Amino acid sequence: MKPGRVLLTQAQIHARVRQLGQGVSRHYRGQPPGQRPIFLGVMNGALFFLADLLHAVDLDTEISCVRLASYQGTQSTGRIRGLGVLGKSIAGRHVLIVDDILDTGRTLSALARRLKKLGASDVKICVLLEKRRRHEVAVRPDWVGFKIADEFVVGYGLDYNGRYRTLKQIRILSKN
Ligand code: 5GP
Ligand code: MG
């Protein structure tokens, strides 16, 4: 298995992330003063997206990360590992979850639920990619970079068993 056809170029990704940054900034600027949003990156996949998005927003933010994993190879295991690794008080805060891709929806719905339980007063979701398939769990992201076909992609943070995260483009994983 290796990276095949380029789905999104570096220029396309950067242009879209800039637009997302503007939309996110507009939204949080409209919130009552004193509410500094926490940008919560889901590691490792959202590493580059989180950094680029933060560069594209013009806001007073805080940054935090969680590490979650549900995939082995190209298959969702259905189990989310690592929930709860959050070294920050979430109670009463506005949290923006930043993730690489929405696929089955399990990861993001579990995380959003967990944040609400921890007392977050508002939870929003920003994903770079959303797969055009019926999500197994209902999740409505507030910002989506690109809707893509139901294929396994790598690059710009997205891995295949730990590889290909540092590719500058997003490519479709191919058998040959
Ligand atoms: P979900 O819980 O929505 O099924 O899965 C979300 C997580 O699975 C993503 O954050 C990502 O880490 C991983 N994932 C889902 N689809 C893909 C894909 O096409 N490529 C890669 N590299 N990871 C994926
Ligand atoms: Mg992920």
pLDDT single digits (tens) 9-67: 999 999 999 999 999 999 999 887 778 999 999 999 999 999 999 999 999 999 999 98
pLDDT single digits (tens) 133-145: 877 788 899 999 9
Identify the residues whose C-beta falls under 6 Å from ligand 1: 42, 45, 70-71, 76, 99-107, 152-154, 158-160
> By percentage, how much of the chain surpasses pLDDT 90?
72
| pLDDT exceeds 90 at position 89 | no
**The predicted structure's pLDDT at residue 79:** 62
Contact 174, 4 (CB under 8 A): yes
Separation of CA 32 and ligand 2 centre (Å): 30
User: Which of the following is catalytic: 52, 99, 100, 103?
Assistant: 103
Token pair 């590719």 is found at 167
| Residue 122 designated active-site | no
d(CA 84, CA 95): 15
Separation of CA 18 and ligand 2 centre (Å): 21
Q: Looking at the whole model, is its pTM more than 0.75?
A: yes
